[in-house]
Amino acid sequence: MSFVDTLRQWDEAVTCVDRQDLLEALRIFLSIQEPNSKIYFDIGCLHLLNQDLEAAEKAFDCSIRKDEHLAVAFFQRGITFYKKKRYEESLGDFQHALKALRGNQLIDYKALGLRYKLYACEVLHNMALAEAQLGNWEKAQENLVKALNYKTEVKLSVIDRALQSTLKQKLFKPVEFPSKVLFKPNKHYVAELEKKDYLGKAKVVASVVPQDDFSGFAPLQPQVEDGPTCQKEPEVLRALEGEPHTVLFEFVPETSDELAVVPGNVVFVLHKGADNWASVIFNERRGLVPYNYLERLEMSLASKQNEGIPTLPSRVPPTRPERKQGLTPIDCSNGDTCQDAQHTDNSCIVKVRFKFNFAVSVPPGSPYAILLEKISKKLNVSSRAITLSITSQANGQNVISANTEMESVWSHAPDRRITLWCNTKEQTSGKPQNEIHLMALHTYESPNPEDLNFHKGDTITLLSRVNQDWLEGQCNGNTGIFPASFVQEIPVNEQ
């Protein structure tokens, strides 16, 4: 199902809810083939209104799987579990909802199409109720006291009454979400669904040229008596604001500031920001599109007779970086150039993790002195200042020294490839001086195990540059590769 079809059915279902026709709304929602997290949330709310708790739980499960940061979905599933008297699971979902608030007093979902504010004090209120149902009255009181730090004037009386109830070890009513309040599709996109008459109505225009008996369609003739007799060459293009670009990949917007485009569209770029987002015009509408989804289009104003419109070249998304057999592509993160290490039949490839990644080749079963000399020469550092280890933790039996049995080291390289960690005395004393940090501009989530997943705003330590489009880095204890366009370097004075 296309994005337009999904949008149309979503809008129809929400309209049915406004008319109080809940059964028809639910039927339309369930007919959507690929619902997003917001649509699944709406389905769960309607099931909850119908007291179908099993179906509501499944719908909220799907909503959370689609968007694990949707706090209001955790809140609603917690209400569902509470009604099913599964208090421990209810408590867990309320805790997830509070975590998703990230210390904020509230989340206003108006920008996402939901006219609702989720308050932290209300989430803590329901957490306290779940604890009370489990007999943990002291924890219930602690949560309500914590809720007082997040309270607003409107919510003060609710928290106070609940706190008085816990002191008497009496239960109180949960704070529930108004289930008829649903996520609605972006009104700007809904407006685009209306049919438009781009040709308009025909108009009769009188010619000022005497004895002009022509009837029909033709290029505009000069409207002066003494004008040139030759026909004016038709213009192929007119001057437009911005630079023309072709859309390479489909982009589905997530906020009202973004613009929906599909491959083959021609947009006009007004401004390209440093964060890789471009402000464009498409069909007289302005919005934001990732610049790496676009390709500059060279357009000529000179028309050529009998020349058809060329078909758009077929394009596929940028291919993922591949590590070819026999080569270990390495690019130093500090700007130095590291040559690729060629894997031959009579050599062993040692990938070294330092401030940047590099590789050296040594004969199989080489002694410690030869290995150390190769790495020392590569770094231009005294061999006495280098410490090698089998793992990232340079301690105990992991450290390789002159007394190490090298046979045990080379046993980790059955295919003549091994990864070692390198530290110098300058590094062990503190943070590496040349370490580069990056700021995530957008959330990147990938099912590929070699990729590094992160969220917008996370700080990433750069390990190496795989190629022009992909980087290797470390974030939250995980290491992997990710698109370079999703991050920007943090200036040294801000690190």
Cα 479–chain centre separation: 18
- Amino acid identity of 87? Y
Running DSSP on this structure, what letter comes out for residue 276? S
Cα 409–chain centre separation: 41
Q: How many residues make up the chain in this entry? A: 495
User: What is the predicted pLDDT for the residue at 94?
Assistant: 94
Nearest-10 crossing angle of helices 71-83, 53-66: 160
Any idea which residue has 């008297």 for tokens? 85
Same domain for 8 and 112? yes
Give the CATH number of the domain where residue 155 resides. Answer: 1.25.40.10
Give the CATH number of the domain where residue 424 resides. Answer: 3.10.20.90
Domain for residue 219, yes or no?
no
3 state DSSP class of 102:
coil
Running DSSP on this structure, what letter comes out for residue 480? E
Domain for residue 26, yes or no?
yes
Same domain for 135 and 163? yes
Same domain for 447 and 385? no
3 state DSSP class of 490:
coil
User: What is the predicted pLDDT for the residue at 193?
Assistant: 62
Where a domain ends, among 388, 407, 428?
428
Same domain for 364 and 465? no
> Do 147 and 121 touch, CB atoms closer than 8 A?
yes
Any idea which residue has 């046979």 for tokens? 407
223: phi then psi, degrees, rounded to nearest 5 = -95, 50
User: What is the predicted pLDDT for the residue at 31?
Assistant: 92
> Do 469 and 483 touch, CB atoms closer than 8 A?
yes
10-residue stretch averages of pLDDT, the chain, 495 residues long: 81 90 92 91 93 93 91 94 94 92 86 88 92 92 86 71 87 87 81 56 50 49 49 42 84 81 87 83 86 78 43 46 42 40 63 78 86 84 84 80 84 82 64 72 82 90 80 84 88 66
Same domain for 154 and 10? yes
Same domain for 485 and 367? no
> Do 453 and 444 touch, CB atoms closer than 8 A?
yes
Same domain for 363 and 415? yes
The first and second tokens of residue 38, run together, are 């917001």
Same domain for 89 and 139? yes
Same domain for 138 and 44? yes
Where a domain ends, among 167, 183, 198?
167
Same domain for 455 and 403? no
**13: part of which helix (H) or strand (E)?**
helix 3-18
CA–CA separation, 463 and 212 (whole Å): 76
Same domain for 133 and 35? yes
Roughly how many angstroms between the first and final C-alpha of the chain, as a whole number? 46
> Do 284 and 267 touch, CB atoms closer than 8 A?
no
DSSP-derived secondary structure for 207-226: --STT----S--SPPP-STT
Domain for residue 123, yes or no?
yes
Domain for residue 254, yes or no?
yes
Nearest to 333 by CA among 470, 160, 158: 470
Domain for residue 202, yes or no?
no
Burial of residue 268 (number of CB atoms within 10 Å: 0-12, 13-18, 19+): middle
Boundaries of domain holding 285 = 243-296
**Structural domains counted in the chain:** 4
Give the CATH number of the domain where residue 486 resides. Answer: 2.30.30.40
Cα 296–chain centre separation: 24
Domain for residue 321, yes or no?
no
Domain for residue 189, yes or no?
no
Where a domain ends, among 147, 167, 187?
167
DSSP-derived secondary structure for 51-94: T-HHHHHHHHHHHHHH-TT-HHHHHHHHHHHHHTT-HHHHHHHH
**427: part of which helix (H) or strand (E)?**
helix 425-428
Same domain for 148 and 60? yes
